[in-house]
C-alpha cells in the first residue's frame, strides 16, 4: 500500500511537470505566431518602429542559414561531444543514461533523484555548467567585445539596440526550429538542445531553454524604446561604457554565478523556477556579484569616468545579484538585462 502511494505521488509529480512543459511550449508557440505575423507585416510595410533597419532579402536569408549552421549545428555538435565525454568519463553515466540526458525526457519518467543517488551531484552540475556556459560564453564574450569596439568607434545613437534590430529574422527562424525539436529525440535535436539542457532540470530541461530563448526575443522589443532614451541622456563618448555595463555585467553575473556555484557551492538555497531541482548557493551569489563588480570597475577605469560611475557599477552588481537569485529560473536573463538598461537610463537622466 505504501509502495502504491509513493508510485502515485511520482506519477502526479510527473504529470505536473509535463503540464508545465506543455504550457511553456504553447506560450512560446503563440508568441512566435504573433511575431511571425508582425514580421510579415514589417516586410509588407517596409519599415517598423522596432526594427527600422531590418531588411528581408537574400543576404539576410544567407546570414541566417550560416548562423544556424555554425552556432546550432557545428557549434552544437562540438559542445554535445564535450558534454557527452564529461557525462561518460567525469560523471560515469552509462550509454543509456547519456542517451536519456540528451533526449526530450517528456515521453518517459526522468528520475533526477535516482541519478543523484548513484552519481555525484556536484559532478553532474559541473558537466551541466560546462556544456551550457561553454556553448554560450565563448562566442558571447567575443561578440560582446567586438560590439563594444564598434560602439566605441561609431558612437551611433542606436548603440543599445542595433545588434538586436538586425536579427529579427534570425530569431524567428531559430525559434521555429527550437519549437520543432522541442518534443523530438535524436541527434539533431540533441545538437540544438543538448549542451544547454541541464541534467538537473529533469523533465523540464528543454522547457527552461525554450523559456529563455523566447524571453530573449521578447527583450528585443523592450530594449528598443529604452535604447532610444539611453541615447538621449548620454553623450556619444559614453555610449561604449554604457553598452558594456548593460550587457557585460549581466553576462558576468549570470555566468559566474553558475560557474562558482557548480564548482564550489553547496546548493541549499531553494528558489522557484523551471526545473526539477531548483537550488542555488552562497558561493554562486558571491561569485556573480564579484564578477559584475570587477567588470564594471574595469570598464569605468578604462574609460576614465568619474567616481559617480563607480556607484552605478555597485548598484548594477547588487541588482544583478538579487535578480539572478530571486527571478524564477529561466527568466533571469530577461530581468537582469532589462533592469540594467533601466538603471543606466535613470543614472543618465537623474544623477548626472
Structural domain contains residue 175: yes
Chain CA centroid to CA 179, Å: 16
Apex 334 CA angle, 269 and 263, nearest 5: 40
Three-state DSSP state, 279 = strand
pLDDT per residue of the chain (352 residues) written in tens, 0 to 9: 444 454 444 556 667 889 999 999 999 999 999 988 887 887 677 666 555 555 666 776 777 788 888 888 899 999 999 999 999 999 999 999 999 999 999 888 889 999 999 999 999 999 999 999 998 888 888 878 887 888 888 877 777 666 665 566 777 788 899 999 999 998 999 999 989 999 999 999 999 999 998 998 888 778 888 888 998 899 988 999 999 999 999 999 999 999 999 999 998 999 988 988 889 999 999 999 999 999 999 999 999 998 999 999 999 999 999 999 999 988 999 999 999 999 999 999 987 6
- The CA-atom distances, in angstroms, between 149 and each of 10, 119, 159, 230, 267 are 52, 45, 11, 18, 38
Contact 196, 315 (CB under 8 A): no
Contact 194, 57 (CB under 8 A): no
Closest to 241 (Cα-Cα) out of 347, 138, 323: 347
The pLDDT assigned to 1 comes to 47
Structural domain contains residue 101: yes
The pLDDT assigned to 167 comes to 65
- The CA-atom distances, in angstroms, between 341 and each of 117, 218, 230, 328 are 43, 15, 8, 20
Q: Could you tell me the residue range of the domain that residue 241 belongs to?
A: 20-350
Structural domain contains residue 234: yes
Structural domain contains residue 65: yes
Contact 100, 110 (CB under 8 A): yes
Closest to 144 (Cα-Cα) out of 240, 26, 5: 240
The pLDDT assigned to 6 comes to 46
Q: Based on the structure, what is the number of domains in the chain? A: 1
CA–CA dist 286, 298 (Å, integer): 18
Instruction: Count how many Cα atoms sit within 13 Å of the Cα of residue 328 in the half-sphere of its side chain.
Output: 11
The set of residues, in sequence order, having a beta carbon less than 8 Å from that of 198 and lying 6+ positions away, is: 128, 132, 205, 208, 275
The pLDDT assigned to 222 comes to 82
Apex 274 CA angle, 269 and 278, nearest 5: 20
Structural domain contains residue 8: no
The pLDDT assigned to 9 comes to 47
Residue 134 grid coordinates: 561553454
Three-state DSSP state, 280 = strand
Structural domain contains residue 37: yes
CA–CA dist 244, 295 (Å, integer): 9
- Residue 107: phi and psi, rounded to 5, are -110, 15
Predicted TM-score (pTM) of the model is 0.88
CA–CA dist 223, 218 (Å, integer): 9
Structural domain contains residue 333: yes
The pLDDT assigned to 70 comes to 87
Structural domain contains residue 36: yes
The pLDDT assigned to 218 comes to 84
Contact 312, 284 (CB under 8 A): no
Amino acid at each position: 500500500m505504501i509502495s502504491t502511494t509513493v508510485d502515485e505521488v511520482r506519477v502526479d509529480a510527473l504529470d505536473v511537470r509535463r503540464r508545465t512543459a506543455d504550457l511553456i511550449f504553447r506560450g512560446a508557440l503563440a508568441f512566435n505566431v504573433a511575431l511571425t505575423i508582425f514580421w510579415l507585416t514589417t516586410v509588407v510595410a517596409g519599415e517598423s518602429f522596432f526594427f527600422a533597419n531590418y531588411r528581408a532579402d537574400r543576404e539576410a536569408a544567407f546570414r541566417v542559414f550560416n548562423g544556424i549552421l555554425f552556432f546550432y549545428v557545428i557549434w552544437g555538435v562540438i559542445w554535445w561531444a564535450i558534454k557527452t565525454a564529461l557525462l561518460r568519463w567525469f560523471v560515469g553515466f552509462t550509454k543509456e543514461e547519456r542517451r536519456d540526458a540528451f533526449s526530450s525526457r517528456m515521453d518517459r519518467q526522468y528520475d533526477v533523484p535516482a541519478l543523484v543517488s548513484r552519481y555525484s551531484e556536484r559532478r553532474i552540475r559541473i558537466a551541466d555548467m560546462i556544456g551550457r556556459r561553454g556553448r554560450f560564453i565563448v562566442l558571447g564574450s567575443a561578440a560582446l567585445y567586438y560590439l563594444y569596439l564598434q560602439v566605441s568607434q561609431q558612437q551611433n545613437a542606436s548603440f543599445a539596440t542595433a545588434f538586436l534590430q538586425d536579427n529579427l529574422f534570425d530569431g524567428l527562424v531559430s525559434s521555429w526550429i527550437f519549437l520543432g525539436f522541442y518534443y523530438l529525440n535524436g541527434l539533431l535535436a540533441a545538437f540544438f538542445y543538448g549542451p544547454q539542457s541541464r541534467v538537473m532540470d529533469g523533465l523540464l530541461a528543454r522547457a527552461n531553454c525554450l523559456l529563455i530563448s523566447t524571453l530573449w526575443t521578447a527583450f528585443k522589443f523592450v530594449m528598443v524604446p529604452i535604447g532610444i532614451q539611453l541615447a538621449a541622456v548620454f553623450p556619444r563618448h559614453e555610449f561604449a561604457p554604457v553598452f558594456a555595463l548593460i550587457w557585460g555585467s549581466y553576462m558576468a553575473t549570470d555566468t559566474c554565478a553558475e560557474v562558482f556555484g557548480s564548482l564550489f557551492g553547496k546548493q541549499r538555497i531553494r528558489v522557484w523556477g523551471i526545473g526539477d531541482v531548483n537550488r542555488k548557493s552562497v558561493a554562486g551569489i558571491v561569485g556573480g556579484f564579484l564578477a559584475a563588480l570587477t567588470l564594471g570597475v574595469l570598464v569605468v577605469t578604462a574609460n576614465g569616468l568619474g567616481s559617480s560611475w563607480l556607484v552605478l557599477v555597485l548598484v548594477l552588481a547588487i541588482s544583478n545579484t538579487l535578480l539572478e537569485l530571486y527571478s524564477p529560473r529561466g527568466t533571469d536573463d530577461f530581468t537582469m538585462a532589462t533592469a540594467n538598461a533601466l538603471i543606466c537610463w535613470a543614472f543618465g537622466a537623474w544623477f548626472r
